[in-house]
Structure formats: structure tokens, C-alpha cells
Chains A and B, each alone.
Chain A
């Protein structure tokens, strides 16, 4: 794989540009090694790794059904939102976290080893998922509300200031009651961001 990268890049360089100093090449080659990672096939999982992949796949299905609703082009169905929110709620917090025993990164898992160095953060994200999905359940009857103008949404408020810092940083931690009173599509967004935050830190690419 390393060879492949080297030859690929090397020929591209030599063909398209004048051949540059060997010294520089050597330095860059060495550095290029750091950016490649082997890819993992997603099959043949067993035991706890399989269990959590199955859990994640159930989350995925529930998210897909929610996305279909919030994408528009379909009548809003509060009952369907509650059903999906319930599934997600049932697969959060410790139900999720307990499937990540220390050091369980065996093939074909894409879990990162930093989970156990940052266990509190990881467990927090799993807990937040529970809180937000409960919030979504309660907010299901609040009809989705489009930000009427994305421009002014981005600005928060009109000029003079491009961005105040509170807008940039978003609201701080929300409570279950906050979620219950928000338009349901905004709670759904929080839920999505929570999945992404955890994946960005703790799930490697495959």
C-alpha cells in the first residue's frame, strides 16, 4: 500500500512537473507514510463488536425514517417521530456505552482507542443521546419550523456585527424541558449533531 502511494505520487510529480530534488522527495515520502491508513472491511464481526454494530445500525434505520420526515415532501407524522425517537432513546446511554468494554477494537471494528482515554466524554455523548431523543419525543407535536430566511438565521441578528460569540457557539447545554418546547426539526438537528460529534472523535473511517 505504501509502495502504491509512493509510486502513484512519484510518477504524477515527475510526469507533470520537472523532477525535483531527491532530498526533498525523500523527506516528503517519509511524511506521506503518515497519512495513509489501511482500510477495514465491514464484515465478519462477532461478539461485542457485532452487538454494537447492530445497535448502531438500528439507530441508522431510525434516523433514516426521521430524515424522510424532515426532508419535506411528505405529510408530517408526529406518531412516526415518537416511534423513531423511542427506538433511539432505547439504544442510548449505558445500553450503548456498555457495548464498549475497554480495549475492544478487534477487527473489523472502527472504534478508536481514544474512547477509553476519554471515557467520560464518550459516555456523556451516549447520555446526551438519551436526553435529546426524549426531548424529540416530547417535541413531536411541535410542528417543524423552517428558519424563514437562512441568511438572517446565519447572522442571528442583522448587522452591525457579523457574528456575536453566543451565536457562534450555539446555546449551551439544553435541558429536557428546553427540547420539549423547541420545533421538533431543531431537536432532530441536535440529535444528528450528537451522532456526528461522537463519530468525529471516536469512530475511524472505513
Chain B
């Protein structure tokens, strides 16, 4: 049995190693769009949490110059500097490299990224949205300082292990909206499943930190140290606990729940640094989708 397992690991490593090298050489992303809109991009950078994760605001850090420590059971992650600094940020990157990081979760030199960077959601962003983000990132003042290195425990500190992870768990299929003639539903689906990545926290993960999609939004243990459990936001659960579309949309705008209590934990940050900046019709689309999800 044990030998069988050992062989399996070996096979796995070899295959993924093989597919990885193949992969990284052959798969730069080419977008159909190259012109981005700065305003739309900045809106998306808020809504999708780039600014929240990549800025250590409360510690006095500058915009997008690197995030606060993310403490997880795998160790501590620091979201890197994304400013236009050539050396410490992404100032020397091309749009294509940026798109490849978001779509494939790989760096310009072909290294896989940790899923603490929620690229499995961003891989589903439209070409236009990626180009808009890129345009907005061009306007970020350079900060000449790197973010701290991650501090991860063995074996998670071995980046090549992520090749295995990606080949098993990273679904790179493009976003296809469910059959729906309802534009509010379709917009909500795109925002929830890609941009605002609600499932990153509200869907349980398996032992490898991969999302269990068959239990979408069923609630989860938080990956953040000391946070405890995160409630379910399935349509059934939301309805049972009395949320209406307008309650949910207002809570995402204000941080206040229908009973007058406020969000705490990482949800307070999701609102404060993200959804609070979103337009009403987008928040209503999110709420509509979640309450009517099929």
C-alpha cells in the first residue's frame, strides 16, 4: 500500500513537473482587448480586493505597495508590491504578463502562485476587465520597497509543489454565465463568482486548501488564524435567516446587518475596502444572484 502511494506521488510529481514546464512555455495569455479604461479599472481594483490585500493601510503602508500579513494554517503570506516601481513592483511587466498572472496563476518567469492570491476567480475576468485593471495599475505611484517574503511551513514553502496543486485543483475554464436571459442575474453571477470572489471564504475547502464546489457557499472554517467559522450564504440559508435582496445589498454597502448588528472579522474588511465602493446596481445584482442562485 505504502509503496503504491510512494509511486503515486512520484508519478504525480513527474507528470505535473512535465506538464508545468510545457505549460509555462506555451501559455502566455493574449487578450482580445488592449485598451483599458482607468476609471473602470480602479473600480474593479476596489471591488475585487486587489487594493485591500495588496495595501497594508492600517500599518501606514502606501497604496498597493504590499499587504498586511495574512496568517493561515500554512504560514504567513504577504501580498507583494504591485506599484509601478520597476524593481520592487510590477512596473517592468507587460499587459500580457499581468494577464497571465491572473488567468493562469503563473509569474513572468513561469513560477506558479499560491492560491492565497485568488487567481482561480480572476481567471474568469473578461478580457476587457483585465485590460481596465492594467490601465489603472499604470497610474499607481511607484514605491521602491519589496513586501516581506512569505513565511511558510514545510512543505508549503516549496513553491514547485504548487504545480501539483494547480494541475489538480485549478480550473482554468473560462467563465460561462449560466443560461439566463436575466441581465441582473448574469451580472450578479459574474460579480460573485469572479470579481468579488465570495466563495473564497464562504465555501469549504478540502485538506489541500482547494474549494469544494459541490458545497458552494455552505459556510466554512476561516483560513485566517483565529477567525473561527464563516456563515453560509446559500440562497436557502439567506432566506431562512430573513435576508431580503435590499437587506443584503445594504449590508454590503454599509456593513450593517438587518438586525442592526455589524459585520466583524474579514467580512468587515471586504465591505470597508471593497463592496462599500460599489455601485448600487452592482450590489443589487450580487444580492439578487445569491438569493436566486440555481
Partners in one complex: yes
User: By the criterion CB–CB under 8 Å, are A205 and B57 in contact?
Assistant: no
- A50 in the interface, Cβ–Cβ < 8 Å? no
User: By the criterion CB–CB under 8 Å, are A13 and B262 in contact?
Assistant: no
Q: Which of A20, A28, A59, A162 contacts B63 (CB 8 A)?
A: A162
Distance to closest chain B CB from A94 (angstroms): 21
User: By the criterion CB–CB under 8 Å, are A150 and B262 in contact?
Assistant: no
> In the complex, what residues of A have CB within 8 A of residue B242's CB?
none
User: By the criterion CB–CB under 8 Å, are A192 and B256 in contact?
Assistant: yes
The prevalent SS among residues of B at the interface is mixed
- B263 in the interface, Cβ–Cβ < 8 Å? yes
Distance to closest chain B CB from A102 (angstroms): 20
In whole angstroms, what is the CA distance A52 to B206 when docked? 38
In whole angstroms, what is the CA distance A23 to B2 when docked? 10
Q: How many A-B residue pairs have C-beta atoms within 8 angstroms? Tell me.
A: 165
User: By the criterion CB–CB under 8 Å, are B63 and A165 in contact?
Assistant: yes
Distance to closest chain B CB from A168 (angstroms): 4
| A8 nearest in chain B by CB position | B204
- B187 in the interface, Cβ–Cβ < 8 Å? no
- A60 in the interface, Cβ–Cβ < 8 Å? yes
Q: Which of B253-288 contact A (CB under 8 A)?
A: 254-256, 258-266, 268-269, 271-272, 277-280
| B250 nearest in chain A by CB position | A71
What 0/1 readout, one digit per residue, does chain A (124-164) give for beta carbons within 8 Å of chain B?
A: 00000000000000000000000000111111001111111
Whether A163 contacts B51 in the complex (CB less than 8 A), given A151-B39, A154-B42, A199-B268, comes out as yes
Whether A60 contacts B73 in the complex (CB less than 8 A), given A13-B208, A150-B278, comes out as no
- B141 in the interface, Cβ–Cβ < 8 Å? yes
> In the complex, what residues of B have CB within 8 A of residue A105's CB?
none
- B155 in the interface, Cβ–Cβ < 8 Å? yes
Distance to closest chain B CB from A155 (angstroms): 6
In whole angstroms, what is the CA distance A161 to B262 when docked? 32
Q: Which of A13, A17, A155, A200 contacts B269 (CB 8 A)?
A: A200
In whole angstroms, what is the CA distance A205 to B230 when docked? 8
User: By the criterion CB–CB under 8 Å, are A63 and B264 in contact?
Assistant: no
- B94 in the interface, Cβ–Cβ < 8 Å? no
User: By the criterion CB–CB under 8 Å, are B43 and A154 in contact?
Assistant: yes
User: By the criterion CB–CB under 8 Å, are B228 and A205 in contact?
Assistant: yes
In whole angstroms, what is the CA distance A205 to B228 when docked? 6
In whole angstroms, what is the CA distance A203 to B43 when docked? 31
In whole angstroms, what is the CA distance A156 to B43 when docked? 11
Q: Which of B140, B223, B259, B264 contacts A64 (CB 8 A)?
A: B259
- A39 in the interface, Cβ–Cβ < 8 Å? yes
> In the complex, what residues of B have CB within 8 A of residue A205's CB?
227-230, 264-265
- A93 in the interface, Cβ–Cβ < 8 Å? no
User: By the criterion CB–CB under 8 Å, are B223 and A35 in contact?
Assistant: yes
User: By the criterion CB–CB under 8 Å, are B9 and A159 in contact?
Assistant: no
Distance to closest chain A CB from B55 (angstroms): 6
In whole angstroms, what is the CA distance A70 to B228 when docked? 31
In whole angstroms, what is the CA distance A5 to B268 when docked? 26
User: By the criterion CB–CB under 8 Å, are B73 and A163 in contact?
Assistant: no
What 0/1 readout, one digit per residue, does chain B (219-246) give for beta carbons within 8 Å of chain A?
A: 0011101111110000000000000001
User: By the criterion CB–CB under 8 Å, are A5 and B264 in contact?
Assistant: no
| A17 nearest in chain B by CB position | B168
Distance to closest chain A CB from B260 (angstroms): 3
Whether A150 contacts B221 in the complex (CB less than 8 A), given A155-B39, A161-B141, A196-B268, comes out as no
User: By the criterion CB–CB under 8 Å, are B268 and A200 in contact?
Assistant: yes
User: By the criterion CB–CB under 8 Å, are A13 and B206 in contact?
Assistant: yes
- A75 in the interface, Cβ–Cβ < 8 Å? no
Q: Which of A1-47 contact B (CB under 8 A)?
A: 5, 8-10, 12-13, 16-25, 27-29, 31-32, 34-37, 39
Can you list the 3 inter-chain pairs with the closest CB atoms, starting with the nearest? A64-B260, A199-B264, A196-B268
